[in-house]
Amino acid sequence: MEYIKRLASLDFVIFKTSFYISLLLMGLYGLHKFNVRFELYICAGVIYTVSTLGILSNDLTSIIFFPGASKQQISDNAEFLNVIKESILTLIIFDTLREIIKTKKEESKSKVSEVVESKAVAINSSERKNKRACTGIIPHNKRTRRKRAAPKNSK
């Protein structure tokens, strides 16, 4: 008997699952293509607030938002609100992971660029020293004074 009840509700489960996956894919596309992080967080805050108020007030918020709805419709709306909540939570997790990976890549690139820059500075300074040694050019601050020749005594 339990099997038949589960089989009868299978279409609703498949519908909720496909709704979850489609919301997740649309959200991932929006995050990647349009960079709507701020809007996602605002939407998540509003949905979580409405959902929590509905849970704490025994579906009073659902009655306020859907005034002519039956008890069954309110429970269906609450289930869809849970699906939306879970998809947004998954999006936030994916977004956080993406930002962590992006930050790690930027840190490694900056370390590599620092090493490359320091090597370039070292190479440039050694090239300048070699050039000076070859051409006999001595920098201004390292010039040595020539000793003056003693004046000849003419008697």
Output 9-12 pairs: Cβ under 8 A, ≥24 positions apart: none
Rounded to two decimals, the pTM is 0.67
pLDDT for the residue numbered 144 = 56
Tell me: the pLDDT tens digits for 131-141?
Answer: 665 665 555 55
Give the CA-trace dihedral at 122, 123, 125, 128, to 10 degrees.
170
Residue 104: pLDDT band (50, 70, 90) is: very high
Residue type for position 119:
K
DSSP 8-state symbol, 140: G
Cα 79 to chain centroid, rounded? 30
